[in-house]
Structure 1
Amino acid sequence: MPIRFDKIELMRVQIPHEDPLVVSLTVAECLVRRVLIDPGSSANIMPRVTFDRLEINPKELKFTGNLLLGFDGKRVEPIGTVELMVRAAERNLVESFMVVEIHPSYNLLMGRGWIYRVQRVPSILHQVMRCISPDGSKVIDIHGDQVAVKECYLVTLKATGKGKAPTQSADE
């Protein structure tokens, strides 16, 4: 059964857009909204605030000697790592998260390792992650949430003190 993306599927997407793929996932038996799917990330990232909201026992954190390197070149030292069950597309996988003291607008970031292990194909244009069911009988989709993307954008604007979206382009 091949995985395909057709033009007709764009009817459920607000276009044009340049939105990242943001979904909801079940992590540690809790529904977590505003999960950024990032094929460019080598790790799954959990902000400390999400760790606290999931009410995970801090004793479950394991020391890691690894440092994270952001796209801005800054190094971030994780508080630790934690392994949690992630349920998506009829698959339950134990995933390792680097818990970091950051304040992003996203609640989790799922990296390319998870995308590979869950055997998903993300399409940012179509705002969907698609895979074949474990038994091979059907295609399963996790749709992106463009409203949540806009919420994240507003949170970022407030945090940076910008307050509202720019009204002029750089060319003007």
Structure 2
Amino acid sequence: MVVILPAEYKANWSDDEVQEVTAQLVLPPQPAVFEKPVEKDHRHLRPLYIQGHVDGKPMAKMLVDGGAAVNLMPYSTYRKLGKTSEDLIKTNMMLKDFGGNSSEAKGCLNVELTVGSKTMPTTFFVIDGKGSNNLLLGRDWIHANCCIPSTTHQSSIQ
């Protein structure tokens, strides 16, 4: 969207007036020193896990990761949900699993994901990878839910 204001709204300032109201702040370079946090201050470094339901079935250990471009589901979780190979939508995407190893996705799965009181259709890429997470919720899920994940507060703010 482009908004164009009529010329009568333009401020008529001379160069002298502009220089009078302009202020500059010049600071010399200073070293930045970060103290190593003590053990109890490491809480913000923990991964953010949430709980919810996938197609009505309870699901724990869903990792919210703003660095992941897509939502991932390991094949073991896919089988635990009682899904069969007919439920997968075929794809030829190459993805990195939880360990960073590249592999071809087995396919896509559309499910109803409920977190808190919000239920939303969500697409997961099913991979044949092993990890300590049941699901990985990436930027796709974060943006679709208009939420801000906070590892400091160990919560997702909507």
- The answer to whether the superposition gives a TM-score over 0.5 is yes
Q: Compared with structure 1, are the counterparts of its residues 72 and 26 closer, same or farther at alpha carbon in structure 2 (3 Å cutoff)? A: closer
Q: 2 CA distance for matches of 1:62 and 1:83?
A: 9
Question: Which of 98, 110, 114 is the matching residue for 1:87?
Answer: 114
Matching of residue 50 in structure 1 with residue 67 in structure 2: no
Q: Flag structure 1 segments of 5+ consecutive residues without an equivalent.
A: 1-13, 132-172
Matching of residue 62 in structure 1 with residue 89 in structure 2: yes
Tell me which amino acid in the other structure corresponds to 1:16.
Answer: H
Tell me which amino acid in the other structure corresponds to 2:150.
Answer: S
SS at match of 1:104: coil
1:110 alignment counterpart: 137
Q: State TM-score, norm by structure 2.
A: 0.69
> 1:71: how far off?
8.6
Question: Which of 42, 67, 71 is the matching residue for 1:16?
Answer: 42
Flag as ranges the 4+ runs of structure 1 deviating above 6 A: none
Q: Compared with structure 1, are the counterparts of its residues 107 and 62 closer, same or farther at alpha carbon in structure 2 (3 Å cutoff)? A: same
Matching of residue 100 in structure 1 with residue 130 in structure 2: no
Structure showing greater Rg: 2
1:27-67 C-alpha deviation (Å, 9 max, x unpaired): 11111011100011011100000000010232010111111
Q: 1 CA distance for matches of 2:53 and 2:97?
A: 26
Aligned residues: 118
Q: State TM-score, norm by structure 1.
A: 0.64
1:26 alignment counterpart: 53
> 1:70: how far off?
5.6
Tell me which amino acid in the other structure corresponds to 1:112.
Answer: R
Tell me which amino acid in the other structure corresponds to 1:125.
Answer: T
1:11 alignment counterpart: none
Q: 2 CA distance for matches of 1:21 and 1:47?
A: 18
Tell me which amino acid in the other structure corresponds to 1:51.
Answer: Y
Q: 1 CA distance for matches of 2:67 and 2:47?
A: 12
Q: Say what the alpha-carbon RMSD is for the aligned residues.
A: 1.8
Tell me which amino acid in the other structure corresponds to 2:64.
Answer: I
Q: 2 CA distance for matches of 1:99 and 1:74?
A: 14
